[in-house]
A and B are shown apart, each in its own frame.
Chain A
Amino acid sequence: MAAHLIPRLLQSIAVVFVVVSLVFVGSRLIGDPIEAYAAQNATEESIAAQRERLGLLDPLIVQYGNFLWGVVRLDFGESIFTEQPAWDEVMSRLWATVQLSLAAFILILAIGVPIGVLAAIRRGSIPDLIARLIALVGQAMPNFWLGLLLIFVFAVQLGWLPTSGRGGFENLVLPAITLAGFGAAAAMRLTRSGMLEVLSNDYIRTAQAKGLAGRTVILRHALRNALLGLVTVLGIMLAQLLAGSIIVEVVFAWPGVGRLIFRSISLRDFPVIQVGVLVIAVWFVVVNILVDLSYNILDPRIRVGSET
């Protein structure tokens, strides 16, 4: 276990390092933050003073060295615009995004997997057709459009839910559904195809021939095996939900990390961009490791470290 995990962790650290380095270089190629906020009649002296204060006059390699030294000390600098620690800026919004992502992930599991199973065991039936149609629409519809549609129907026309903002549970419903839309459709299709593949195997027929109850065959023998392929995709989905919530956060005025990064990119707020991307990269890596570990639980045949 440890023999597998340690190289995996080292590999993950390298991945995070490469990603953050790329973001460091990339963000400095897209423009100068001082230009984004300097007044039209700002004096050259004041502009130069600001560039010097932010270290933007140093050669890129020196800036990069300072950045890495800061990362080592867990000092990511201050936001150029709010002058608050960049780490605090991201962390203060992280829970809102995690909350939204987890809610969306639960919806993906709750909607995508059962309907996928149902569509597979009733292959060719009307429920299967409806499920496939929903999956197609769910994957084809852009989430900003789905979000606006949901707002119009459930907030404006029916008045059941608020249009935007972060407050109680009711504020979470529409953004979570919107964020889950694509993922649930994808999970539905993957579950269906995985189940169809598994259901055609001999051991399923054997289980049925043994007289096991249909529910037992589906849940214990078919679904568990079908989930093996799905877990990897769900893991990536969970990671993507955190990173991909930007549009949904903008549409629903959800005060999360996605919107912060979006705004920081437009303002060239380098420290905040770097911390935001770092957090997302770490999140991806952690989820991937968890997915690897989950194989142990789902499939004893590939239990890590048990090879002979």
Chain B
Amino acid sequence: MTRHWTQLRRARLSRRSLLRASARAGVGAAGLALVGCGDDDDDDQAQSVAQAQQQDEQQQQAMQQQEQQQAMQQQAMQQQAMQQQDDQAEQQAEQAQQQEQSAAEAQAQQEEQQAAADDNIDYNATAIGAYGSFPQILDQGSALARGGQSASNSYHYASVFPLEPQGTAITGGLGEWEFVSNEALIVRVTPGRVFHNGDPVTAEDVKFTIDRLSNKAEYNPEYNSAWTGELVWTGDNSLIDENTLRIEQAEPSVDAANSLATGGFPVFPKAVIEADGDDAYGQFPIATGPFKFVEWSPDEYIKSVRNDDYYNGRDFVGAPRMPYLAGFEARLIPEIGARVSALEAGEIDLANSIPPDLAVPLGDTGDYNVYYHPAQRGLHIKLPMTIDEDPYNPGQPNPWRDKRVRIAANLAVDVDAITQNIMTGRENYTYSLSAGQFGFAKDLVEQRWGYDPGRARELLAEAGFADGLETDLIYLSGLYTNDQLFMEAIAEMLRDVGFIVNLIPDDISKFLGEARNKELTAPYLFPQPAGFTSLGSFAIGVDSAATYEHKVEVLNDERAEIDRLIAEAKAEFDTERRRKLLEDAVRIHYTEASWLFLFELVQTHVGAARLEWDPFFLQPASVELWNLKSVKT
């Protein structure tokens, strides 16, 4: 495949050279023709013609000669200019040719290096990776399987459609899609695709998957699905033929195809689940992913081997792809220090989720590779701007509804200092209510609030809080790396400008319950939604009706406008127009200081020197096991 493209490039080069040569030859011939025409004007003169006439003729002749000389001079100049142009063109062509040749050579060299690198990969190698948590069951569709997905389900399962680096669905892989207006989605399964047990994947399996996950499957309508939220757009679905499914849209969803691909959307084998039941399936998953499940002991290990029937080759445009490793064993080692020790003792090859203070020294030894990647977690502090009254002073207006107070909070916090001193230093500041991988609102860089405690104090004073503004600040303790430290730093920075902050660490279950029930009236730390499409993350993470937003008693005009833009984007099938709508929402959201904007977390993992990983996704959920190479030593 690669050689074909190289040859094609070289062939194109030759044709271009020929064209340039032809052009040069044509210009030269025209010049010669012009010069030759001037010589034909010397006529014989009759001696019997009057002298005056002769003089006139001589004068005319002289003038003609002069004109001819001028014309010849002009022609000569033109020829010279053309020659110069020609020379320049030739030089440029040569340069271009040289550049293209060097590019081709570089490409060829790169391909050779790639080929050498490929030769250097040990395709029979296996690896052992340690994780801090395992899923409780191995059924990707079940809400009970949440947590520890990267240790198992993320590589046993593959979605209906593959993904490009931003995490957006593309056609290929298992199938392709087509929108029928905004009424239905047609899914065509590519014939020849098989499950891990060798059974063919058909449209009936896709239909069963959607039914199962939206609690419509006849065998168990009470299945505890984790995907009901993603599939609210689905209406009835019907088989057109063995490989084609028509899914009616109960509500128009521009994200329909994406929702069948992002976040590890699975495809289930109908025959297996109906025969064995949910419980058995949760213990022995059969799916379509790049690794096949072999066995597990729930608190100890999960063993898998490469799925050699996996349909996305290693040169496929999307992901996941055929793995390099022949097998992988995930081990459960909850304690971080013990994971590092197991790596140092050579018992494992990959230690997942290691804090930078432990990972960096290991990388410095040269015996290990440290992998950094942005997590799907952009942190921010939600500000209670939709609540009417001040919880500390009933009857008084809520101070967070004052934009000056929100800006003051943003100006008070030195996010860069926090990322440099407490985190890895690789975290990106987040401007957007959507994950950074979608690249929204890059133009907001110039409008960043920045760190300006003096201005923050002034704004608080202007807003009437010169004597301080009391507020609780809630966060989930122990959920993110160094969360206690950076929240204490944030609280201290806010105190420095006049906020009287009561920092409250909370427990996840209690917190989520209170947030879901809209009982929280104080600012709280929260992540951007992970594993959703760009649109999905807006709808889930920022729409004022979103699950974990503060209760809505009153909206200001800007917030109402954000809701309107998101609603409009949900119904906008044109990609560019949809993006524009979402960017407008992001812009308003940021410039209104709707949140206290923080940073996108970076995850750190450590692997043995033989393991190489070059992330495919812009924001991978964890180490992409299908993309992990073991190089020969």
Chain A residues at the B interface, C-beta cutoff of 8 Å: 30-33, 35-43, 45-46, 49-50, 53, 79-84, 93, 144, 147-148, 151-152, 155-156, 159, 162-166, 250-253, 255, 259-260, 267-268
Contacts and interface: CB of A to CB of B under 8 A. Distances in A.
Nearest to A43: B228
A292 to B, nearest CB: 35
A39 B509 CA distance: 13
A39 B341 contact: no
A41 B338 contact: no
5 contacts: A36-B508, A39-B226, A82-B137, A148-B337, A162-B347
A286 to B, nearest CB: 25
Nearest to B512: A35
Q: Which of A35, A53, A93, A251 has the most CB of B within 10 A?
A: A35
B544 interface: no
B368 to A, nearest CB: 13
B143 interface: yes
B333 interface: yes
A84 B279 contact: yes
B222 A41 contact: no
B227 A165 contact: no
A159 B342 CA distance: 11
Interface of B: 136-137, 143-144, 146-147, 215, 222, 224-230, 232, 278-279, 282, 297-300, 331-335, 337-338, 341-342, 344-345, 347, 507-510, 512-513, 516, 529, 532, 536, 539-540, 547-548
A156 B367 CA distance: 14
Contact of A40 (B334, B341, B509, B540): B540
A37 B297 contact: no
A154 B228 CA distance: 50
Contacts of B540: 40-41
A46 B231 CA distance: 12
A41 B226 CA distance: 9
Given A46-B228, A82-B137, A84-B279, A165 B345 contact: no
Instruction: List 8 tightest A-B contacts by C-beta distance, closest first.
Output: A41-B229, A31-B509, A255-B299, A81-B136, A35-B512, A35-B513, A163-B342, A253-B333
Contacts of A46: 143, 215, 225, 228
Q: Which of A80, A84, A162 has the most CB of B within 10 A?
A: A84
Nearest to B540: A41
A35 B476 CA distance: 14
Nearest to A47: B516
B196 to A, nearest CB: 22
A158 B228 CA distance: 52
Given A31-B509, A36-B509, 15 more contacts: A31-B507, A31-B513, A35-B516, A37-B143, A42-B228, A42-B547, A43-B228, A49-B215, A50-B143, A50-B224, A84-B279, A155-B341, A156-B345, A163-B345, A255-B298
B338 A148 contact: yes
Given A163-B342, A253-B332, A39 B224 contact: no
A252 B300 CA distance: 11
A259 B335 CA distance: 12
A144 B335 CA distance: 10
Contacts of B230: 41
B512 to A, nearest CB: 4
Nearest to B517: A35
A273 to B, nearest CB: 13
A162 B347 CA distance: 8
B136 A82 contact: yes
Contacts of B532: 41
Contacts of B144: 37, 80-83
A81 B222 CA distance: 15
A41 B536 contact: yes
A32 B513 contact: yes
A156 B232 CA distance: 52
A165 B137 contact: no
Nearest to B511: A35
B338 A253 contact: yes
A40 B529 contact: yes
Q: Which of A40, A80, A155, A162 has the most CB of B within 10 A?
A: A40
A259 B341 contact: no
Contacts, number: 138
A45 B222 CA distance: 12
B361 to A, nearest CB: 14
B331 A253 contact: yes
Contacts of A166: 300
A148 B341 contact: yes
Contact of A39 (B227, B279, B282, B539): B227
Given A39-B227, A152-B341, A163-B342, A268 B509 contact: yes
B547 A40 contact: yes
A32 B146 CA distance: 16
Nearest to B300: A255
Q: Which of B224, B282, B536 has the most CB of A within 10 A?
A: B224
A164 B333 contact: yes
A276 B136 CA distance: 17
Nearest to B516: A35
A35 B508 CA distance: 8
B338 A151 contact: yes
Q: Which of B136, B146, B532, B539 has the most CB of A within 10 A?
A: B136
B335 A251 contact: yes
A93 B300 CA distance: 11
Nearest to A52: B222
B143 A253 contact: no
Contacts of A259: 299, 334
Contacts of A31: 507, 509-510, 513
Contacts of B548: 40
Given A81-B137, A93-B299, A36 B512 contact: yes
Contacts of A39: 143, 146, 226-229
A254 to B, nearest CB: 9
Nearest to B137: A82
Given A41-B229, A41-B540, A165 B300 contact: yes
A134 B245 CA distance: 72
B276 to A, nearest CB: 14
Given A40-B547, A82-B136, A251 B300 contact: no
Contacts of B225: 46
B338 A252 contact: yes
Contacts of B297: 255
A41 B548 CA distance: 9
Contacts of B510: 30-31, 35
A33 B509 contact: yes
Given A35-B513, A82-B136, A155 B345 contact: yes
A293 B611 CA distance: 59
B338 A164 contact: yes
Given A32-B509, A93-B299, A156 B344 contact: yes
Contacts of B300: 165-166, 253, 255
Contacts of B279: 83-84
B496 to A, nearest CB: 33
A52 to B, nearest CB: 10
Nearest to B229: A41
B534 to A, nearest CB: 14
Contacts of A159: 345
B282 A83 contact: yes
Contacts of B299: 93, 253, 255, 259-260
A144 B334 CA distance: 13
A43 B234 CA distance: 14
A80 B508 CA distance: 17
B338 A251 contact: yes
Contacts of B232: 43
Contacts of B344: 156
